[in-house]
Amino acid sequence: MVALLAGTILIGVTYGFARTNLLEREKSAARDQTFVNADAVRTELSEDPGNIGLFFSTALRTEAGGFANLGSPLDPAARRACTDCVVQISDYPDRLVQQVARGGNGTQHARINGDDYVVVGVYIGAHDTGYFEAFPLRDTERTLRAILTALALGGVGTMVLATLFGFSTSRRLLRPLSRVADAAENIASGGLDTRLDEESDPDLDRLAGSFNDMADAVQTRIEREARFASDVSHELRSPITALTAAVEVLDGRRAEVPERTRQALDVVVSQVRRFDSMVLDLLELSRLDAGATDLNVEVIDLVDMTRRIAGRFGSPDVPIDVAPRTRREIAIDKVRYERILGNLIENARNHGGGVVRIALSPAQRGYVRIAVEDGGPGVARGERERIFERFARGSAARHRIGTGLGLALVAEHSAAMGGAAWVEDRPGGGARFVVDLPTRVEP
């Protein structure tokens, strides 16, 4: 854009300067020639006025393509002599004719019979007449067109060269910044070991060094926090297992304890089981974060597997609607699919009043869609992304059971298999949790 603007201004200024100079030169040459010819006409009028017509046709030297007229400016129709009698004095510009009629001389650009001319008028006082001569501008216009064409071609060439130079220069200058942006995107997507190479430019090398130091600090902190969560989960696993076993023994002998003690025992049993489930979920998330879980892909019957999982998680009679053209045999990780569907069923039972329907349908090309619908209060629009975060709870589930990790595991397992999970409104009320999974997961 800078090259285009500068080139346009330069072309305009150069062309305007050249045009002004050429026209001024033409006007000056035309005036000089006209005065010479007017002096010859005045001499001929003084010596042999009756032969002026022959003088105009044979002896008067005019520009090739030009013409001259002699006559009274006060009476343009009264023609005395002419070189091209097709043109009358009345065809000349009125302002120039009036100027000569007042006893003056003048020069003016005019368009006569469709062509451009420089017209000069001279008053011959000795004979009270006016002499007019027109000089064609065809050669000047041709020269100006050639100049404009050359300037335009030069401007286009300059703009192309400037564009290529600017593009290559900007690419060279912005390439390090592009590498920084790519590295930042890699780190944001989980590639914590991404680092920048050293740069030859001192300022850019300082930027690369600062970026690498920042990445080291971020990686260290994230790994320390992940290791802390994993270590805590492992350390809690043994006492929780022992505590769960003890509580189960007490629960098995609940008939031997008083009623008030039995109520307290129910609270302890439910909380210990919830704690145990939370520790298991944290361990699973720690393995997912560390990338310690592999994809064990096998071909399954989607409808049959969905029905078995629903029965295993306490919903054997839930209707399973299969849309036409839904692919039944898919290649996915069966354990992860069971975890996804089981968590969605438990989420519907704990927070949505139970599963109303499970729908299987084709999604985008190469994907299948699994939807678990409930009849609960639904999920507020502002919470639909947050509930898939760890320990996040919707407003409808803040005072209910659950660990706050079930939907986070759904999102993690779906992403690990190349899919996605989200929630939307169910027609008629309630929530509809949707998971898109590829029909063939690449291990």
User: What backbone torsions phi and psi does residue 156 show, to the nearest 5 degrees?
Assistant: -65, -45
Q: Do domains 2-143 and 202-290 have the same CATH topology?
A: no
Contact (CB, 8 A) for 111 and 117: yes
Domain ranges of the chain: 2-143, 202-290, 297-438
Q: How confident is the model at residue 396 (pLDDT cuts 50, 70, 90)?
A: low
Contact 295, 400 (CB under 8 A): no
Q: What CATH number has the domain spanning 202-290?
A: 1.10.287.130
What is the CATH T-level fold of the domain 2-143, as seen in this structure? Beta-Lactamase (3.30.450)
pLDDT digits (tens, 9 = 90+) for 61-92: 888 888 898 887 766 555 578 887 788 888 88
Q: What angle do CA 244, 246, 247 make, to 5 degrees?
A: 65
Q: What is the pLDDT of residues 327-339, one digit of tens each?
A: 999 999 998 899 9
Report the alpha-carbon distance of residue 28 to residue 24 in Å, rounded: 6
- pTM, to two decimals: 0.51
How does the average pLDDT of the chain come out, rounded?
A: 83
pLDDT tens, position by position, 365-383: 889 999 999 988 888 888 8
CA–CA distance, 134 with 405 (Å, rounded to integer): 97
Distance CA 342, CA 348 (A): 10
Residues 6+ apart with CB under 8 A from 25: none
Question: What's the topology of domain 297-438?
Answer: Heat Shock Protein 90 (3.30.565)
